[in-house]
Amino acid sequence: MFFWSLVLIAVGIFSSFIYGRSRIKLNSKKQGTKSKSLPTYYAQYVLMWCLFPALIVYFSWAIFQEQIIQNIVISNFEFIEGAVYNEGLLLAEIRNVANNPSFADGKSIEIINAASHYSSLRQISQISFYTSIIIIMLLGALYASQKLKPEFHAQHTIERYIQYILIFCSSVAIFTTIGIVFSLIFESLRFFAEVSIFEFLFSTEWYPFIPIREGQTAAEGSFGAVPIFAGTFLVMVVAMCVAVPLGLLTAIYLAEYASQRVRKTVKPLLEILAGIPTIVYGFFAFVSVAPFVKAFGQSIGIDASPTSALAAGMVMGVMIIPFISSLSDDVINSVPQSLREASLGIGANKAETIKKVILPAALPGIVGAFLLAISRAIGETMIVVVAAGTAPNLTGNPFENVTTVTVQIVVALIGDQEFDNPRTLSAFALGLVLFVITLFLNIIALQIVKRYRERYE
């Protein structure tokens, strides 16, 4: 369906363009006047009217077809009195039988009936999809061809349409933000309907296991996220302890001491460090750093767990080094040369100039870089998923196993996703917290950096 509809649309594009072009030439010849715009613009006009309505139909069909068919199938399903049905499982079963007739053996008659209903609906949908696409394209072309008169300013119209398309492209970013905010808030509200927001924010017990089926005897779950926040904080602090000195000193060395040649070789190497996928850092933490931390802990008499905050944090720090060093490098470079020269001119040496003049001048920008790095560290997922633990643990000891917000989101969404269950929904509440905190940090950081830039420009 996907491929052939693309072919159909491509044919539509091609023929409408040719049609528009020849039609306007014919029309202007008939009237004996020159057209107001070049023939190409009339052709583009027909093309747009042919293409865009068809695309809208195409996408809405692709998005809603399955849902509508499923709803019809379910509403016509012959439910047996007294039996309990799970809608999702039932649908999956019907779809399986419909796609693979060999699965029909041993299934109940209602399911087989529903499956044949499902496949017939799919067929109807396919046929009507193609016909409606063709009709829409023809209608669009017909409408546009009415306008193909030499006195019609096709170019102006086309340019207006192009503006609309460009505006749509730029608003995708806004739609994305709206989508993020709405999906997070909507699912979080469902979560907070079952779990009080005070329990979530201030209680210290995270035990997200809730009886999934009725009658299952399991302990009541509790959703106090404080240990998770504390774990995130601990890992972030460890990461910053590694990244800040290394990143900042590297940036200072590169900006102030290194020769042009060293800069030219080291900067791309640091970019490699920045471009390595985070799962690779996770592997590194898991295979090399975590055993090392465990052995180190044992050698100084601390019982370190195999997945510790220290291992995850250290590797995360390494990941952030290039981030901090390149941002700080920019900031240090934008300190005006005159400040350096003045300081060197009154006899200070380089280290003194850097410590007493450049760093204080660059401080706001550097703080902004740190804030961005913190937001990076908090939102980082794969390193902690692999190298930190999954069990919540309220501790300040970096050798112990802690868990983070991102890990808990992943844990809650791996496996069965039941959207009527607070365990699954808790991922969205945690995501909302994560989103708000990182957004807040970013806005502050960008403000600081912006104000700092303005000061020296």
Partner 1 sequence: MNNSVAKEKIVSLRKKRSLEDMRFKYYGFTAMCLSLAVLVFLLYTIFSKGYTAFQKTIVLLEVDYNQDVLKLTPDSSDEEMEKGKFFRVKKQAIENFFPNLSKSDIKLVKKLFSINADNEIKDYFLDNPEVINTKQQIWVTAHSDVDQLLKGNSRRDVSEDRRKLNDIQLSYVDQLVEENRVKQVFNNFFFTKADSRHPEIAGVAGSFMGSLFTLFTVFILSFPIAIGASVYLEEFAPKNRITELIEVNISNLAAVPSIVFGLLGLGVLLNVFGLPRSTPLVGGSVLALMTLPTIIIACRASLKAVPPSIKEGALAVGATKTQAVFHHVVPLALPGTLTGTIIGLAQALGETAPLIMIGMIAFIPNIPTGLTEPSAALPVQIYLWVESAERGFQEKSAAAIMVILIFLFMMNAIAVFLRNRFERKW
110 lies in the site for partner 1, by CB under 8 A:
no
* Binders in 250-269 for partner 1, by CB under 8 A: 250, 252-254, 256-258, 266, 269
Nearer to partner 1, 46 or 409 (CB): 409
Nearer to partner 1, 64 or 79 (CB): 64
Distance CA 37, CA 48 (A): 16
* Binders in 216-235 for partner 1, by CB under 8 A: none
Distance CA 58, CA 359 (A): 57
The CB-based long-range contact list for 125-129 (8 Å cut-off, 24+ gap) reads: 125/61, 125/65, 125/69, 126/1, 129/1, 129/5, 129/61, 129/65
CB of 33 to partner 1, least distance (A): 21
Binding string to partner 1 for residues 389 to 408, with x set by CB under 8 A, is what? -----------------x--
CB of 371 to partner 1, least distance (A): 10
Binding string to partner 1 for residues 355 to 384, with x set by CB under 8 A, is what? x----------------x--xx-xxxxx--
Binding string to partner 1 for residues 1 to 30, with x set by CB under 8 A, is what? -x----------------------------
Nearer to partner 1, 28 or 250 (CB): 250
386 lies in the site for partner 1, by CB under 8 A:
yes
Residue 207: strand pairing partners: 222
Binding string to partner 1 for residues 283 to 322, with x set by CB under 8 A, is what? xx-xxx-----------------------------x--xx
Helices 405-413 and 359-379, interaxial angle, to 10°? Answer: 20
* Binders in 405-434 for partner 1, by CB under 8 A: 406, 409-410, 413-414, 417, 419, 427-428, 431, 434
DSSP string, 81-114: TT----HHHHHHHHHHHHH-GGGGTT--HHHHHH
74 lies in the site for partner 1, by CB under 8 A:
no
CB of 30 to partner 1, least distance (A): 28
98 lies in the site for partner 1, by CB under 8 A:
no
CB of 210 to partner 1, least distance (A): 19
Determine which helix (DSSP H) or strand (DSSP E) holds 82, and give its type and residue range: none
162 lies in the site for partner 1, by CB under 8 A:
yes
Contacts of 116 (CB under 8 A, 6+ apart): 98
* Binders in 186-205 for partner 1, by CB under 8 A: 186-187
Q: How many CA atoms lie within 13 A of 271 on its CB side?
A: 6
Nearest to 210 by CA among 420, 2, 358: 420
CB of 116 to partner 1, least distance (A): 22
CB of 312 closer than 8 Å to CB of 282: no
Residue 223: strand pairing partners: 206
Contacts of 147 (CB under 8 A, 6+ apart): 45, 154
CB of 429 closer than 8 Å to CB of 408: no
The single-letter DSSP state of residue 420 is T
Question: Which tokens in the block code for residue 32?
Answer: 């004996």
135 lies in the site for partner 1, by CB under 8 A:
no
276 lies in the site for partner 1, by CB under 8 A:
yes
Question: Which tokens in the block code for residue 418?
Answer: 């039941």
- Tell me, what amino acid is at 255? A
Direct distance between the N- and C-terminal alpha carbons of the chain, in angstroms, rounded to an integer: 57
166 lies in the site for partner 1, by CB under 8 A:
yes
CB of 249 to partner 1, least distance (A): 4
Phi, psi of 390 (to 5 degrees): -115, -10
Nearer to partner 1, 195 or 385 (CB): 385
* Binders in 44-73 for partner 1, by CB under 8 A: 63-64, 66-67
Nearer to partner 1, 16 or 157 (CB): 157
* Binders in 321-340 for partner 1, by CB under 8 A: 321-322, 325
351 lies in the site for partner 1, by CB under 8 A:
yes
Contacts of 339 (CB under 8 A, 6+ apart): 357, 358, 361
CB of 41 closer than 8 Å to CB of 17: no
CB of 316 to partner 1, least distance (A): 12
92 lies in the site for partner 1, by CB under 8 A:
no
3-state SS, residue 210: coil
Of positions 150, 224, 282, 392, contacts partner 1 by CB under 8 A: 282
Nearer to partner 1, 165 or 295 (CB): 165
Nearer to partner 1, 130 or 435 (CB): 435
Phi, psi of 36 (to 5 degrees): -70, -30
